[in-house]
Amino acid sequence: MQKNFKKIVVMGLGYIGLPTASMLATKGHQVLGVDISEEVVKTINSGNIHIVEPDLDILVRSAVNSGSFKASLIPETADTYIIAVPTPFKVTERNPKTPDISYVEAATRAIVPYLRENNLVILESTSPIGTTERVYEIITETRPELSENIHVAHCPERVLPGHIIRELVDNDRIIGGITREAAIISRELYQSFCNGNIFLTDARTAEMAKLTENSFRDTNIAFANELSIVCGKLGINVWELIELANKHPRVNILNPGPGVGGHCIAVDPWFIVDAAPEEARLIRTAREVNDCKPHWVLEKVRLKASELTNPVIGCLGLAFKANIDDLRESPALEITRELMVSNIGTIMPCEPNVGGDFDEFKLYNLEEVLKEANIILLLVDHDEFKAIDAGLLKDKHVIDTRGVWR
């Protein structure tokens, strides 16, 4: 059952859409990337990138220079359409963290006029249960003649920021089709660049698999974060405790942090809770533990600041994890924002991976922070921070949420 994928439209050119589009373009496909931002489109068409991701600039430049990849504000007629747009929260009366699939719906409606019989539509966005069916519903409601002649599937991304290019190629993939045929056809496309195994299922199971993976990780992180809070109350060094407990051959406790960020682990568990609020009790509790951890960190900072006459607090890191520029759902950014409006002292945020387009508040370079701050709050374990000379910290009050300087 061979399928012609030569022309592919990728809707959304963010952290998933851009690497996927450029990867497909270097594998012999003609790719049009679509984004609502004129600046993003202009940047990509010049062979540059608007996000920080190792080796992505090389991949995009190669794809653009070869003529196989270009960006646009509007889609075109193609053989395959991949939707890779955000799925954030929205506030409703029922739930302040209700999944918002409006971007997926908008992207689907944007491609509907261009669809032809036997086109393939793949949803890559991490989505609440039933979203792939909603994509099919939008298509067939508007174009009923396609109801038996359109292939719709879900293939959730499973990559780690900072390693996206390698993991796009090497990681196993799960594909869930509205029909079995849609899943099989989708597998053929991903086999053009994916070395990992590709497993087929139905759309709902594929959606739930991605949510389950991140809920499992979130639950394990919550155990470590709760342990750090307990140890803080009991006067125990949590880093030493975890190191010793992990000597057991069947114990592997993760390291705690200031919370959990990113668009996946901090978001996906709530999609399950929203779908089954009475049943997902452990998943909800884990998410609440991790959501509350930034407030615990803030209390530690406030207590230390209250002991000083003129506290100057250096906040090291704003990204949600080390060595990237991604600020989505970042606990470090949440903590820094709270400190900025708390009036407890002078706040000096430092984030070496964010460029001049960050205008929410002033950023300081690391040298300035280490010179001026008397409280150093480590929020993200960027390599630049790990390399700080310990001698520069000896006269500082250090709050290390990552265990870098333990």
Q: Which residues are catalytic?
A: 210, 264
Residue type, 348: M
Strand 173-177 relative to strand 150-154: parallel, antiparallel, unpaired? antiparallel
From residue 250, how far is each of 14, 100, 253, 282 by CA, in Å? 39, 39, 10, 22
The enclosing H or E element of 177 equals: strand 173-177
Residue type, 60: V
Q: Per the structure block, which two tokens stand in for 348?
A: 């000096």
Provide the sign of the torsion angle of the four alpha carbons 95, 97, 102, 105, taken in this order: negative
Contacts of 97-102 with C-beta under 8 Å, sequence gap 24+, read 97/270, 97/273, 97/274, 98/274, 99/127, 99/128, 99/270, 99/271, 99/274, 101/127, 101/128, 101/131, 101/134
What are the beta bridge partners of residue 176?
A: 154, 201
The enclosing H or E element of 234 equals: helix 203-234
Nearest one of 209, 77, 212 to 154, comparing CA atoms: 209
Q: Per the structure block, which two tokens stand in for 360?
A: 């929410």
Task: Determine whether 61 is exposed, middle or buried from the number of CB atoms within 10 Å of its CB (0-12, 13-18, 19+).
Answer: middle
